[in-house]
């Protein structure tokens, strides 16, 4: 221990995402005396809580030399208050980093080693650079099956696990989503209408124009606490809520952010990420929807086989029944891109509207079949018939409305204030749709922040079009956003390629 | 390309070390429209220059929503001006990251792949997380000899290489320094006095109480530009300058910072780091001082053999003659710890002062012998005699004074304003000295920022002491700093362990 001197906390409101940063003045006496260097790691203690943060030095007048600030993330972890006095010191060495080094040198890690890494991760003792090193050391097939099992169980142990008073709790997960692939609300409605318990937590968009939680939020409230989720599920057997407010796998929340930056999710980490969240959510049976296609996350059937095998084996070891459904990942599903437009498609399917997108309806029915087959009371050949019957009879739509009521009331879908339709420049056939760029147009129009904004796709691959026929429509809440999207479109080769 | 809108630059003076960070307001229209996420990568363009920076969002009033700021490092790269208008866009994908992923999956990288990684590194296209991933992927013995050669030559090619009009340019490097191990000025003085050309660039302290450049700065100017270094070397055959202002290996500057955080320098990267700088400095012959000991960087003779073999082979491939000197890395060398106190020891050895630390003198003579033996005119058995003769005759001291004169004039060593001596609490023998903690006392006293501050060690391992006899003295320029160091000492077990 070195002599500690306090520094006054000043909030600068800097969002570094999940990296805890401490800001100190370069002339700060404590900083100089302790020999803290920029990018050095510093233990910050305030009111009984503590976090290890990376130092950024400030040279101007943002801070006095007897003040410090913290990034939003560190500020929240410490529950810091403006003007409060915090203390800084050199942190104890993070011992589990020796296990990371051991993994880099190709050694197997046992449960104790993996657990100590995960413990230090969730205690915010790893810097981003150290997290990146761990993620890299595990990637490239460097985790064997036992390591994946131990990593997954460690991630479950450090989080909060929901216990349900039901023998069977079903769940689904899609590996690497497709644009518009909003099967979840339909599948939950069918499963819950049948009587299965399906408490579904979904994510918001990270880089896409909408996540399932964003889409669902058009129709009802999704940020519920665990007590409210329990009440909804007790009454309706199902829910579709945002998983972020519950933090089911805090270790995964920390790892996944760095994996995403590195565009590295190795099989081991993918399995641990998916299953730790499902185990924490208290699921007993999980269906994994795995779209396979050249531009999907799972690119080949052999990769799908290997990943599916890991998911089943690790799940089995940890008491989770895992079923895999391989689907076509070569093109988007549905028409709307953006929260409200996707919600419209989902409601159309649930209402058996004849104009509803049939690809979305069929994919949802296939998944619902697999979910129903988890139930011992559904005979193998009856799954699809049962699912179709629940949907066609309107029972799924009734159940969906009840779920929305229980989550806080069902809302109407509002249209966007402005639309602009793009028409075909020639007669011909749609040969190519650039999904990445169509998603970008939806984002430039305002999605997902503006729920009503997005793109409505009128034509799919192979469609025959006449010159001047609408091919897609931009929806936005301001003319500026329409202009912004149009400027992007004009700057590009056509997003739908039509061969005459 | 998307429509670009400019944002006004505002300087916030935030030092993130070498990580380029862009700060934008969370309400900034450009930020929202482009869908930039915190921790996302953004291309910033200003006046023809460009850098890829990581986004931190700001929510308070540090920035308006039409402003942006940059970390000091990014600000300097762009040569930004307060109020100037900069443009942001999504960067092109960094293609060389696919080679990093390939390395993670255990593949060999060829010269083209390694060169493209190094090109992107020095163009500031990698985030810290991506650098950490590359460093980790190469560690753990994952680079073979050809990869190390290609990595080293790539690092040389992207930097500026100094050409000397001499056939032989000698150099030395110490792998993982020992406290007080300031042989460099003595070796340079002896080599240059003999007539060898030895333009030595040294580093400043990073975590230690003094680097060779800090110590040398007590006696003369060390931050010289390349033109001045050339003039000094033309006149005196030698120099001891700070290498930081010349940036001999820009790729290494970027990598080494992350390697240091991860405490990972694999053999491959260590070899590339050392040799790229020596090649860029225009050296033809390099002596590597490799202290071996349980707490040194090189822990065993087998590790020393392997590392030495790599250094020699890679050096040979790239036209550099490398010689290895294994030395005792079990205890510190000399007495002073801190720039001025170490300079005093160096001058005492050069002046043949009978009270000069003999361990420093002997180690410097051994290294000088190896350097002299690079010269074809020195017979193998005459190296040590020649070195000793140059030192004993005063020619080394004369040469050292001339070098200091050429670098900007020789300065006197000033004493610190205050001293405080710690005495032995009992009669006995010094059995242990905690190097890490004695270095910490020197830093708390003010070193290396206060050049005169530090610790003077009066006793070494095995010394017999009487009760009350001085064992070490703290030097500082303020009573506050003395108190600060004493508070640390009182809080600890004795730093010198004396057994009675």
| Chain B, window 74-103: residues with a beta carbon less than 8 angstroms from a chain A beta carbon | 97, 101
Q: Identify the residue among B15, B97, B103, B260 best suited for mutation to test binding to A, counting A beta carbons within 10 A and taking the highest.
A: B15
Average pLDDT over residues B81-86: 95
- Taking only the tens place, the pLDDT of each residue in B57-75 is 998 889 998 999 999 999 9
Choose among B292, B276, B282, B280: nearest CA to B325: B292
CA distance A130 to A128: 5
For the domain spanning A6-89, the CATH number is 2.40.40.20
CA distance A316 to A271: 12
- For tokens 């109407």, the residue is A412
> What's the pTM?
0.85
Q: What is the mean pLDDT of chain B?
A: 90
Average pLDDT over residues B465-491: 91
**Pair of tokens at residue A458:** 């009128």
pLDDT at B2: 43
Determine which of A116-125, A174-183, A260-269 has the lowest per-residue pLDDT on average: A174-183
Kindly give the pairing relationship between strand A41-46 and strand A49-58. antiparallel
Given a cut of 90, whether residue A317 has pLDDT beyond it is yes
Of A1, A101, A262, Cβ closest to residue B129? A262
CA distance A478 to A207: 22
Given a cut of 80, whether residue A306 has pLDDT beyond it is yes
Query: What is the band of B39 on the pLDDT scale with cuts at 50, 70, 90?
Result: low
- The 3 state secondary structure assigned to B87-133 is EEECCCCCCCHHHHHHHHCCCCCCHHHHHHHHHHHHCCCCCHHHHHH
Please state the domain extents for chain B.
6-89, 170-244+276-407, 418-499
Q: Is domain B418-499 annotated with CATH 3.40.50.800? A: no
Query: What is the band of B177 on the pLDDT scale with cuts at 50, 70, 90?
Result: low
CB contact under 8 A, A135 and B135: no
Q: Is domain A170-243+278-407 annotated with CATH 3.40.1030.10? A: yes
Q: What is the mean pLDDT of chain A?
A: 90
Average pLDDT over residues B364-378: 96
pLDDT at B253: 85
CA atoms within 13 A on the CB side of B191: 35
Q: Which residues contact B228 (CB under 8 A, 6 or more apart)?
A: none
pLDDT at A2: 43
CA distance B149 to B153: 6
Interface A–B counts its CB contacts (< 8 A) at: 170
CB contact under 8 A, B133 and A136: yes
CB contact under 8 A, A132 and B137: no
Cis check: omega of the bond before B107, within 30 degrees of 0: no
**Residue A232, min C-alpha distance to chain B (Å):** 33
Which SS3 state, helix, strand or coil, does residue A169 take?
strand
- Taking only the tens place, the pLDDT of each residue in A321-379 is 999 999 887 677 889 999 999 999 999 999 999 999 999 999 999 999 999 999 999 99
CB contact under 8 A, B12 and A58: yes
Within 8 A of B214 by CB-CB distance, chain A residues are none
pLDDT at B477: 92
Given a cut of 70, whether residue A178 has pLDDT beyond it is no
High-pLDDT (> 70) share of chain A, %? 96
pLDDT at B1: 38
CB contact under 8 A, A3 and B261: no
**Residue B54, min C-alpha distance to chain A (Å):** 9
**Residue B382, min C-alpha distance to chain A (Å):** 44
CB contact under 8 A, B449 and A32: yes
Of B14, B38, B263, Cβ closest to residue A15? B38
Of A38, A105, A440, Cβ closest to residue B17? A38
- Please give the residue that has the higher pLDDT: either B177 or A338: A338
The reply to whether B59 touches chain A by the CB within 8 Å rule is: yes
Q: Identify the residue among A4, A33, A131, A337 best suited for mutation to test binding to B, counting B beta carbons within 10 A and taking the highest.
A: A33
Query: What is the band of B27 on the pLDDT scale with cuts at 50, 70, 90?
Result: confident
The reply to whether A62 touches chain B by the CB within 8 Å rule is: yes
- Give the active site residues of B: 265
Given a cut of 50, whether residue A3 has pLDDT beyond it is no
The reply to whether A65 touches chain B by the CB within 8 Å rule is: no
Average pLDDT over residues A185-205: 94
Given a cut of 60, whether residue A217 has pLDDT beyond it is yes
**Pair of tokens at residue B449:** 């920022």
B170-244+276-407 to CATH, choices 3.40.50.1360, 1.10.10.10, 3.40.1030.10, 3.90.550.10: 3.40.1030.10
Average pLDDT over residues A440-450: 88
Determine which of A16-20, A379-383, B126-130, B155-159 has the lowest per-residue pLDDT on average: A16-20
Task: Identify the closest residue of chain A to B142 by CA–CA distance.
Answer: A105
pLDDT at B38: 65
- Please give the residue that has the higher pLDDT: either A225 or B244: A225
The reply to whether B3 touches chain A by the CB within 8 Å rule is: yes
Our answer to whether residue A79 is catalytic in this structure is no
Complex ipTM over 0.90: no
- Taking only the tens place, the pLDDT of each residue in A448-484 is 889 999 999 999 888 999 999 999 999 999 888 898 8
Of B19, B58, B129, Cβ closest to residue A13? B58
Considering A262-276, B248-262, B357-371, B485-499, the range whose residues carry the highest mean pLDDT is B357-371
């Amino acid at each position: 221990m070195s002599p500690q001197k306090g520094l006054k906390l000043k909030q600068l409101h800097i969002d570094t995402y999940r990296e805890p940063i401490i800001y100190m003045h370069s002339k700060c006496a404590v900083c100089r005396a302790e020999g803290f260097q920029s990018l050095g790691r510093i233990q910050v203690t305030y009111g009984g809580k503590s976090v290890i943060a990376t130092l950024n030095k400030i040279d101007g007048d943002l801070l006095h030399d007897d003040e410090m600030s913290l990034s939003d993330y560190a500020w929240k972890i410490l529950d810091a208050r403006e003007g409060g006095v915090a203390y800084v010191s050199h942190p104890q060495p993070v011992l589990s980093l020796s296990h990371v080094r051991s993994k880099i040198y190709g050694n197997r890690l046992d449960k104790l080693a993996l657990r100590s890494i995960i413990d230090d991760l969730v205690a915010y003792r790893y810097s981003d650079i150290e997290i990146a090193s761990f993620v890299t050391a595990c990637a490239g097939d460097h985790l064997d099956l036992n390591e994946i099992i131990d990593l997954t169980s460690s991630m479950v142990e450090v989080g909060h696990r929901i216990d349900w008073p039901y023998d069977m709790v079903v769940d689904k997960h899609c590996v690497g989503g497709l644009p518009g692939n909003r099967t979840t609300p339909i599948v939950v409605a069918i499963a819950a209408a049948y009587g299965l318990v399906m408490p579904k937590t979904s994510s918001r968009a990270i880089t896409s124009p909408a996540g399932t939680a964003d889409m669902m939020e058009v129709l009802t409230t999704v940020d519920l606490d665990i007590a409210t989720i329990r009440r909804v599920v007790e009454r309706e057997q199902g829910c579709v809520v945002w998983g972020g407010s519950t933090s089911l796998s805090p270790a995964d929340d920390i790892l996944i952010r760095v994996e995403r930056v590195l565009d590295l999710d190795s099989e081991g980490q993918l399995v641990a990420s998916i299953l730790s969240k499902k185990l924490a959510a208290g699921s007993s049976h999980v269906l994994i929807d795995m779209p396979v296609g050249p531009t999907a996350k799972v690119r080949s059937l052999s990769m799908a086989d290997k990943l599916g095998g890991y998911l089943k084996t690790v799940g089995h070891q940890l008491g989770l029944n895992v079923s895999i459904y391989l689907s076509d990942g070569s093109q988007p599903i549905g028409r709307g891109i953006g929260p409200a437009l996707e919600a419209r498609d989902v409601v159309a399917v649930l209402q058996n509207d004849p104009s509803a997108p049939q690809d979305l309806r069929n994919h949802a029915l296939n998944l619902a079949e697999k979910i129903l087959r988890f139930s011992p009371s559904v005979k193998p050949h009856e799954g699809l018939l049962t699912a179709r019957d629940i949907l066609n009879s309107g029972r799924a739509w009734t159940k969906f409305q009840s779920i929305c009521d229980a989550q806080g009331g069902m809302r109407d879908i509002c249209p966007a204030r402005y639309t602009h339709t793009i028409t075909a420049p020639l007669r011909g056939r749609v040969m190519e749709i650039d999904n990445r760029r169509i998603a970008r147009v939806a984002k430039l129009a305002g999605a997902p922040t503006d729920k009503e904004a997005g793109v409505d796709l009128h034509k799919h691959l192979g469609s025959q079009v006449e010159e001047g026929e609408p091919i897609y429509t931009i929806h936005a809440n301001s003319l500026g956003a329409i202009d912004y999207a149009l400027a992007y479109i004009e700057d590009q080769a056509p997003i739908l390629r039509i061969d005459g």
